[in-house]
Amino acid sequence: MLNSLKLFNFKGFKELNLRTLSRVTLFGGPNNIGKTNVLESIFLFFDRTNVNMILRQYNFRGLNTTMLEPIHLWGPIFNDYNIENEIKIECVVNNHNESMKIKHNENYNRPAVPVQPLILPNNPQIISTNQNQTTSSALDITYNMDGRKVQESHLTIGPTGLELFIDFSYNKPTVATFNPSRMRTNPLEDSNRYSELDIIGKSDIILNYLRIIDTRINRISIITIGNEPILHCDIGIGRKIPVAFLGDGISRFLTLLLQIVSGKCSVILVDEIENGIHYSVMAKVWESIAMVAKDFDCQIISTTHSYECLRAAYAGIPENMANEFRYIRLERDENNLITSNIYDYKMLGTALYNNWEVR
């Protein structure tokens, strides 16, 4: 569980201090204030052993190409593209102080790296070398836990793209998943997770919750089309149809449930959680998400633009989980710095009851 988060020089934030995060945490605020940036910072923090840790973030935003130069490759994650400043992400995770520092290094000395095998046409033999390459640009990433350095790695631009060199790593990061607002869910991941649940007889949990959105769903099964297993459902029309055909809302809800119930993700990040969900079932959806998250010890951190979504969250979060909910509204102060307003469950209820704006 991520208990708090501090950001320095990350994307739009010169500095941001979020003192209280809960099991279910919702972020609101106007456009371009940094709601998605907060989710991305958390994802980057936990995704730190992935060579694509930065490129994935661009991909989530719909950007599929970039240039192989530091200012283009990792400039966007630095505040004002200023790669000379150090990014710092400080968290309390399960009551441990953890921090990640990211620094641009213009003269990184790449370690011994085998050059790609080269086959010469006239004299076929494989040539390889272990000699050091010249220096290159890199991001030096260090990670501390309770004051002790437990990981050091370097993300660098290699001959074929980004490479990650991990000098050492003594801990296993919490697993986080990111659900972007605009990307479709990955059917293969969903199928795999569902299969694992089916094997241990827990797939009915998913079915029961999905019925909140569409009561016609009788059964879910995996059907392989081509080489790809795809989740299908029976809605009583005489044949099974892919779940995705029921709509974005149910697909997204299914993905979310699978991520939670699979027990493999501890922190689930959802951008614009309300997308595709009809208002009439939104409170029930919130109730389900909160209860399943508690049962499977998951944390849900999400963004929203929707007043309906906030009302639904307030109505749906079970009373016994009231102290496990926070709504955090980001806003820009007179010095152009981004600050947070934290509403606990009761405060949000007061504001909503009075019809006060909270977004």
Candidate list 20, 32, 208, 341; residue touching another protein; CB under 8 A? 341
229, two tokens = 């297993």
Using a 10 angstrom Cβ sphere, with 0-12 exposed, 13-18 middle and 19 or more buried, the burial of residue 199 is exposed
Q: Which amino acid is at 297?
A: D
Q: With the C-alpha atoms ordered 151, 175, 63, 30, is the resulting torsion angle positive or negative?
A: negative
| 160 is a site residue for another protein (CB under 8 A) | no
Output 30 or 236, the one with its CB closest to another protein: 30
Question: What is the footprint of another protein within residues 127-156 (CB under 8 A)?
Answer: none
Stretch that binds another protein, among 45-53, 170-178, 230-238, 345-353 (CB under 8 A): 345-353
Stretch that binds another protein, among 80-88, 189-197, 238-246, 341-349 (CB under 8 A): 341-349
Number of residues that bind another protein (CB under 8 A): 17
| 333 is a site residue for another protein (CB under 8 A) | yes
Distance in angstroms (rounded) separating the CA atoms of residues 192 and 262: 10
Mark 13-42 with x for binding to another protein (rule: CB under 8 A) and - for no binding.
-----------------x------------
| 168 is a site residue for another protein (CB under 8 A) | no
197, two tokens = 């649940």
Residue 94 has a CB neighbour count (10 Å cut-off) of 11
Output 181 or 306, the one with its CB closest to another protein: 306
| 356 is a site residue for another protein (CB under 8 A) | yes
Question: What is the footprint of another protein within residues 242-281 (CB under 8 A)?
Answer: none
| 96 is a site residue for another protein (CB under 8 A) | no
Question: What is the footprint of another protein within residues 276-315 (CB under 8 A)?
Answer: 307
DSSP letters, 44-58, are HHH-TT-TTTTHHHH
Output 168 or 356, the one with its CB closest to another protein: 356
| 331 is a site residue for another protein (CB under 8 A) | yes
Sheet holding 240-242: strands in order across?
219-225, 228-234, 240-242
Output 100 or 330, the one with its CB closest to another protein: 330
Output 55 or 310, the one with its CB closest to another protein: 310
Q: Which helix (H) or strand (E) holds 133?
A: none
Stretch that binds another protein, among 1-9, 13-21, 91-99, 347-355 (CB under 8 A): 347-355
Stretch that binds another protein, among 63-71, 271-279, 315-323, 333-341 (CB under 8 A): 333-341
| 355 is a site residue for another protein (CB under 8 A) | yes
Output 18 or 269, the one with its CB closest to another protein: 18
Using a 10 angstrom Cβ sphere, with 0-12 exposed, 13-18 middle and 19 or more buried, the burial of residue 312 is buried
Distance in angstroms (rounded) separating the CA atoms of residues 72 and 78: 11
Distance in angstroms (rounded) separating the CA atoms of residues 331 and 96: 28
Question: What distances in angstroms separate CA 155 from CA 36, 96, 220, 277, one per listed residue?
Answer: 23, 26, 42, 39
Q: How far is CA 206 from the centre of its chain?
A: 21
355: left (phi over 0), alpha (psi -120 to 50) or beta: left
Output 166 or 351, the one with its CB closest to another protein: 351
Look at residues 265, 147, 139 and name the one whose alpha carbon lies nearest to residue 196. 265
Binding site for another protein (CB under 8 A): 30, 307, 329, 331, 333-334, 341, 343, 347, 350-351, 354-359
